[in-house]
Every structure is written in structure tokens, then in C-alpha cells.
Structure 1
Amino acid sequence: MTTLITSVQLDAAGEALQDVLRFEFPADNVLSGFFRMNRNIGARDRSFVAEAVYGVLRNYRQVKTLAGQDARARKLVLTWLVRQEGYSVRQLEPLLSRGEEEWMGKMKAKSYKPSSIGDKTNLPDWLATRLVAQYGEEKAQALAGALNRPAPLDIRVNPMTTDRDTVLARFEQEGVAAAAGLYSPLCIRFEGRLALQRHPLFEEGGIEVQDEGSQLLGFLVAPKRGEMVADFCAGAGGKTLLLGALMRSTGRLYAFDVSEKRLAKAKPRLARAGLSNVHLTVIAHENDIKVKRLVGKMDRVLVDAPCSGTGTLRRNPDLKWRQTETGVAELTTKQASILASASRMVKPGGRLVYATCSLLAEENDQIVDAFLAAHPAFRQVPVAEVLAQAKIEMPDAGERLHLNPLEHGTDGFFAAVLERIS
């Protein structure tokens, strides 16, 4: 970023960041609310505000140390501009008050000497320590660096209406740089930003925004036409859409979630995609009577469990500052309960896929290990075997799926495929 910055942009970025740094709600929700309340801020200014807020969040520890621990949001934005984005004090001088000029001179001259692994990685200490324990310090630092870079834009082609080659040809004709994903046969990746929601392909249901790693979960479930399938934690329906498309809108696909608001967001997406086999079902909890009625009836069940979201920090850098060790401990209890409940729906010979967008072993391998130890009716099916059946090449795929942005260019995802044998 080397464009001229206006006082309107800087003031707005400081105000928006101040709201976000309360860490009460997700940053994207806070920004959406801020822009709704400030409709006079134009599209170009909004782009700067969002970039500044996310830039500070990604580098929060370093920026806060350089700006001063008590520095207000506006100074944090200025620090990010100078120390991360390469702006000179002279370029920003017209925007500064006299006190800020003096402060900025001192900040510019400061050297940053990280004293802990948290400082080095711009992560909270508890998370940095866990990643080092799992991956070793060198890989943990490299992984943190990958998590700290903005993610590319991935879309998924709807196989019910078109195919990837046709969509790629369309974008090439329009002069849009796009490439096929490395793993998912339905993935297309863009390095730049696009207003996809106004593109005819999106409006016609031919494409959906979905990270390539998330797309792979659908191929692990591998639902067939006419089957009974459940997406146990469906949310706004991103994975439900793929499952329904793979089923060619046949059979019955239950989309369960505890949030009626999240499921409501899935309705227009399902209609746009041309799916008529999806049953949106609000449940009070994982042991709801609506779940118990389906015990032993499901061919496939996907449990994309609520988790810490540590694999999505490229897109949600505020998560690392909002999440806590206590929060993760509470999540692991919930994850184990949800998996046990969802497993009861699977009929003999049926498939259960447990997945998270977390990088932490306690939410992933440890949950599956404990489940298998307590449920001898289930056996593990190697992920490599399932992907091979879908003609998906992933050289490092093994017993379970472990994706991360450093090695795979995707968000961080975990998945295990389990089969009911009795």
C-alpha cells in the first residue's frame, strides 16, 4: 500500500479499530455494523478501513509494543502504516497533530526485539506455546507466518449446473486471473479480490465461495444419490450445499444447527444452487428429540464441530485475541459430546466424518482417539484411501486429514473418517 491516505480514512480506521478491539464480537460483524452506521464512507475508504483493521489485528503484539501499550487505536493504525506498510513519516505528516508528530518520530526510531515465542509469532502466548509443542519451534514460527498472511479467494463450482473447465474459460474470457485448485476437483482460486456476489455465475448458482480445504470435507463424506445424510453442525450451509450437489439433490439431507439465524442464511443459498433435498432443522442441543428420532438411519453424517477456529486466522485474525485457553477446554467437552450424539444416527456400514477448522491436537486427534476407544462399533478409514477413491491426489494424506496454509495453501482443517461396523 503506497496510495495517498486521507484524514477521513485515517479517522474512520481508528474509530472502527477501537470498536473491534473490544473483542466482544467477530471483527467482520463489527466492521459491517460500523459501515452501516457510517453510510457516508465510500467504497474506497471502506477498503482502506478494513485493510487497516485486519493489518493491525494480524500484527497486534508488535504494533502495540511499538506504539506503546496504552496507545489508542488511531496510533495503532499509524504504527501499522509506518512499520508494516512502509509509509514514511513525511507522507503521513499532513494528517498528524503536533503531539502525534513527536510521538511518531520516537516510534519510528524504536527497534522491535521480540522476547518470547508469542512476540515472534504475533500470537497470544498460550497459542504460540501449543503450536511449538505440536510442531517444533521452527515449523511453528513458519506456520504462524503463513497464518498471518491474507488468504486467497477460493470458490467451488456447482457440479449440478456447470463444471470447472467451463467456469475457468468464462473467467479467462473476462480477463480475470484464476487457476484450478491443487486438490479439490471443484476448486478455483483467485489471488486478487473480486465482487463475486454480483457476478452472473454466482447469481445463477454456478459458484459459491468456499475454501479448498473445506471442500475436501465433502469428498470425505462422499454421499451417494438417494442416501440419508446429515450435516450435524450446518451453520449457514456451506458444506451442506456441496453435500447436496454431490447427491444430485436426491435422497434426504438434514442440515442441523442450534442457531435458527444461521440456518435462515442457508435458505437463499440452497434455492440459488437448485437444491430441493435439504431439510433445515433447528435443534436445541446435540441430544434433541429430532436427532434421537433418526438413530441408526443415516448413511453418512458430517460433524463439522464448533471449534477454536485457529486454522482460519488468515481470514479471522481477531480470533487469536478473542479465544482463550478456558474457551478451548470448554469446546473440547462440547466436541466430544456432539460426536458421541451424532454417531448414534449412523447405521451399520455407514460413515461418520469428524472435522474442525482447528490446528490444535486436543480438538482433533485427541477427540477422535477418545471416541474410538469408547466406541468399538466404529473403525477408522484412512483419509488417503477415501481421497484416492475420489481421484484426489494428496501425497501427504495419511490416516487423518491435517491441512494448514503453510504446507497446503488452504485454511487449517482436520478430519477423520469413521465407519460403523456393527
Structure 2
Amino acid sequence: MAIKSLNDNPRYWAARIVTQVLQGQGYSNFLLNQCLSRQLLKPVDQDLLVQLVYGTLQHKLTLDYYLQPLIKKPQNLAPLILNLLRISVYQLYYLDRIPDRAIFYEATKIAKKVENPGAGKLVTAILRNLQRQGQKPVQTADPKNQLSIEYSVPLWVIEKLTAQIGWTKTQTLVHSLNQPPKNAVRVNLQKTNLPDLQQQLATQNISTQPSVLSPVGLVSQQGAITQSSLLQQGLYTVQDESAMLVAPALQVGPQHRILDACAAPGGKTTQLASYLEPEGQITALDLHATKLRLIEANARRLGVQNYIQTQALDARQADQHLPAQSYDRILVDAPCSGFGLMRRKPEIRYLRDAKALTSLAQVQKDILTSVAPLLKVGGLLVYSTCTIFEEENQQIVHNFLTTHREFTLAPVVTTWPLKVLHRGEFVQIFPDDFQTDGFFIACLKKTR
């Protein structure tokens, strides 16, 4: 329950949101949007809140490195107090416009109100010690551990990436993760075109430039592109540049029947619909009816609702409910660990471990096995994820091809000839390649 006297305090809300995120009670972006819509914070405090939440999550392991010598038993601290310390150290070491005295005063005040005077004294003592010590460089004997702490990426992720893509590429990738994510949108060609939309956004003081990955993408340089009335009018939709490459890989014809097996929230579904004419149709599946309503709302906003039929169905059971060989194209944008989104959702790196890859891999295999009989001979199946690990990408595809001899690998078509993206037989984008989300795309053709 919120403390009324702190309702207008961005540091209090930052500590609460970080606590909720690290306890697995919601993603940072969702909880932030929820808080900003409910609390009457000044614009400057809204900006500070967002900065504190994302900054603290991005640098959590580094912050803990500095706090660890001063907290004998962190498990005995109330979670909110521990996260209050984290956001305070983040301010001390990473923000240069906030006076130390303001950081100490606010942290002490919050600790007293949410716990007791003793908690306030403890917080003050720890922060004073850190102030006296100053920010020292991270120093560890092992280079991988050094990289882990310095860039706040768990050691197991560093080790796995190093084994799969090499030490040099791992360093480059990790170095890029704590940079602010770009705001990318996909232009809705049903209602406008890229130059016209750019001009309209410019009149709202929103500066954009064309994407280097997709001819229907714009990247915002400044201005609130996700808050513009043009978004609500359906002139564009929020979508990362790398995600815009998935729909073209299906090589959709205007009359194709398409199965989108894991469709929510509908970004790729609506992009596929933009290629269709009245005879074409998409069946969009999701396990949860609430998510299907989100797809339907997005489709209406973009004006492509007539091409999309939603159905509440677990994609692992699709072959039990849908007719065999009835689709020209199938998209499996599979549930995955999401490690390609570490820049946009920094908490992913702490909330999932190597065991999650194994359990998700089984889900991915089951979905592919279920939808395979539904594809017509000569049809294409695209498998995509927003992760960067081979266990959920290359290994899944190779396993599927071993057990389904009627499928072969096909070239992954992109609208533009982006050869740098093709790593072997697939498209694999790492977060450092174009400062986008990490993504994997494979195309399979049913030959018999």
C-alpha cells in the first residue's frame, strides 16, 4: 500500500517499481506506465522516475558491487530499503545534476516513513561511506566477471555468449546494452506514407529519420512519438526495427491464408495484414483472450481488422483444432527468453536463468511440431524469436529439420539486401549490430 505523504515523490515510486520488477510482479515499462497514469507527478519528476527505474535496473550488478562491502546481511534488509539504496547509489555515481545532500535527504526521509528511524540512519550511514570513498573502478581478477559486473550482465550470460559468438563480439554486445533504446515505429501504408508521416510528426516537434533496416520504419530522434495523436489515428504503430523484418520473410501474396501461431500483441499480425487483399486472411492465435482483444484493438486502429480472425488457442494444440494443409504461410514468433530485449527491458537479465532456456526450448519445439501439418505443400513457415541464444534459435530449427524431413531451409528474404544480417543460413541480429532489439529469423519450406 502506498504511503500518502510520499505520493508525489519520484524516488519512492522508483524504489517501489524496482522492487516489484525484481520480485517478478511486472515488467518495468508496464509498471512505469501504470504509475505515471495514476500519480500526479510533475513532468520533471516523471522524467526522474523513468530515469531512476531504468538506470537502476541497467546497473544493478554494478550498484551491488559498490554496496556489498557496506551491507553485512543484505537478506535482512527490507527489499524496498535495499532498492532505495540502489537508486541512491545510481544517483550518486551516474547522475551529475543532483546534489549529494538532496540524495541523502530524500533517501533518509523515505526509509523512515516506509520502515522506521533506524532504517533512515542505516541508509544515511551507508551513503555517507560511499560518498567518502568515491566511485572506484570495478576490479576483479577474471575478465568475464569484470565484464559482468562492469556492465551488469549476469556471469552465466557472459559465459554463454562467449562460447557461442566469441569474446570480442560478446564485449561489443554487452557494451551496447546500457545505451537508451531507440523509439522505432512502423508506418501504416494503408493510411499514409513515410515522407508524409515524417512531415506530420515534425509539426508536432517530433523529429524522425528513416530506418536503415526497413523501408516502413521511422526512428524518433526527439519528441514523444509514442504519445502522438497520430498513433491513435492509426498512421503508425510502435514496433522495433528488427521486428519489422519478420513479416517480409514470409513472402506473403495478396490472397494467402496465414496462420500467426503466437500473435499477441499483434505487431507482426497487422504488418502481415497490410500485404493482403480481400481474399487473404490471417488466423491469429493466442492462449489468452485478453491478449486477443489487444490484437483486435490494434487491427481496428490500423484499419486491417477485416483481414484478421482471432482464436483463443494454445499453439501447441493447433493441429488438434485446425484443418491440415490449410495455410499458405505460417508464422511462429515463438515464446522465448527475450534476451534480445535486454536494452529495452533490462530486468530480463536478472529474472531468467539458463534453466529457462531449456524449458522454453521444449515449448518452441512443441509449437513447431503442432503447426507443421497445417502448412500446404510448397508453403513457407517462418520461425522467429527476440532472443540471442542458439538453444532457442539455430538448435531449435536444426532439431525440427531432423524430425521433419518434409521441410528444408529456405533463404530469409528481406525487403532490402541487408547482407550483414545473414549469419550462415539464418538472419541473426544482435543488439549491438544496429542498436535495435536482438532477433532471429529462419525460413522453412514444406516440400512434400
Task: Give the TM-score, by structure 1 length.
Answer: 0.90
The Cα shift of 1:118 comes to: 2.3
**Match of residue 191 from structure 1:** 221
**Is the Cα contact below 8 Å between 1:185 and 1:392 reproduced in 2?**
no
**Is the Cα contact below 8 Å between 1:23 and 1:322 reproduced in 2?**
yes
The Cα shift of 1:88 comes to: 4.8
**Match of residue 84 from structure 1:** 94
**Match of residue 409 from structure 1:** 435
Paired AA for residue 247 in structure 2:
G
Is 1:165 matched with 2:195? yes
The Cα shift of 1:217 comes to: 0.3
Local SS of the residue matching 2:317: coil
The verdict on how the C-alpha distance between 1:114 and 1:133 changes in structure 2, with shifts beyond 3 A counting, is farther
**Is the Cα contact below 8 Å between 2:104 and 2:127 reproduced in 1?**
no
Is 1:304 matched with 2:333? yes
The verdict on how the C-alpha distance between 1:24 and 1:196 changes in structure 2, with shifts beyond 3 A counting, is closer
| Mapped partners of 2:105, 2:438: distance in 1 | 42
Is 1:421 matched with 2:447? yes
The Cα shift of 1:235 comes to: 1.2
Local SS of the residue matching 1:239: helix
| Mapped partners of 1:263, 1:47: distance in 2 | 32
User: Aligned residue pairs: how many?
Assistant: 410
Local SS of the residue matching 1:66: helix
The Cα shift of 1:138 comes to: 2.5
| Mapped partners of 1:79, 1:250: distance in 2 | 59
In the TM superposition, 1:127-276 aligns within 5 A as 127-199=157-229, 201-248=230-277, 250-275=279-304, 276=306
Q: Of the candidates 34, 48, 72, which is equivalent to residue 82 of structure 2? A: 72
Local SS of the residue matching 1:178: strand
Shifted more, 68-77 versus 374-383: the winner is 68-77
**Is the Cα contact below 8 Å between 2:189 and 2:274 reproduced in 1?**
yes
**Match of residue 3 from structure 1:** none
Paired AA for residue 15 in structure 1:
R
Shifted more, 212-221 versus 71-80: the winner is 71-80
| Mapped partners of 1:113, 1:221: distance in 2 | 46
The verdict on how the C-alpha distance between 1:368 and 1:72 changes in structure 2, with shifts beyond 3 A counting, is same
Q: Deviations over 1:92-125 (max 9, x none)?
A: 3553546544422321325242431422331122
| Mapped partners of 2:105, 2:14: distance in 1 | 17
| Mapped partners of 2:138, 2:177: distance in 1 | 21
The verdict on how the C-alpha distance between 1:173 and 1:396 changes in structure 2, with shifts beyond 3 A counting, is same
Q: Deviations over 1:245-303 (max 9, x none)?
A: 121454110101111111111111111111111000110451246x6433211111110
Is 1:365 matched with 2:394? yes
| Mapped partners of 2:227, 2:100: distance in 1 | 38
The verdict on how the C-alpha distance between 1:178 and 1:198 changes in structure 2, with shifts beyond 3 A counting, is closer
The Cα shift of 1:82 comes to: 1.3
Q: Deviations over 1:34-87 (max 9, x none)?
A: 456x53434442332222111111111001121235261111111001112234
Shifted more, 133-142 versus 9-18: the winner is 9-18
**Match of residue 104 from structure 1:** 127
Local SS of the residue matching 1:281: strand
Identity of aligned residues (%): 24
The Cα shift of 1:243 comes to: 0.3
| Mapped partners of 2:261, 2:194: distance in 1 | 28
The Cα shift of 1:141 comes to: 2.0
The Cα shift of 1:91 comes to: 5.4
Local SS of the residue matching 1:123: coil
The verdict on how the C-alpha distance between 1:132 and 1:20 changes in structure 2, with shifts beyond 3 A counting, is same
Shifted more, 393-402 versus 361-370: the winner is 393-402
**Match of residue 46 from structure 1:** 46
Local SS of the residue matching 1:131: helix
The Cα shift of 1:203 comes to: 2.2
| Mapped partners of 2:192, 2:437: distance in 1 | 25
The Cα shift of 1:161 comes to: 1.6
| Mapped partners of 2:256, 2:315: distance in 1 | 24
**Match of residue 19 from structure 2:** 18
Which runs of no fewer than 5 residues in structure 1 stay unpaired? 1-5
The Cα shift of 1:127 comes to: 1.5
Local SS of the residue matching 2:206: coil
**Is the Cα contact below 8 Å between 2:206 and 2:222 reproduced in 1?**
no
Q: Deviations over 1:327-383 (max 9, x none)?
A: 111000111111121222111110000000000011000001111111121111122
| Mapped partners of 1:249, 1:77: distance in 2 | 53
Local SS of the residue matching 2:9: helix
Local SS of the residue matching 2:316: coil
The verdict on how the C-alpha distance between 1:165 and 1:320 changes in structure 2, with shifts beyond 3 A counting, is same
**Is the Cα contact below 8 Å between 2:22 and 2:351 reproduced in 1?**
no
| Mapped partners of 1:237, 1:340: distance in 2 | 23
The Cα shift of 1:7 comes to: 8.4
**Is the Cα contact below 8 Å between 2:285 and 2:315 reproduced in 1?**
no
| Mapped partners of 1:303, 1:16: distance in 2 | 32
The verdict on how the C-alpha distance between 1:26 and 1:264 changes in structure 2, with shifts beyond 3 A counting, is same
The Cα shift of 1:24 comes to: 3.5
The Cα shift of 1:209 comes to: 0.4
The Cα shift of 1:21 comes to: 2.5
Q: Of the candidates 310, 316, 323, which is equivalent to residue 286 of structure 1? A: 316
Local SS of the residue matching 2:207: coil
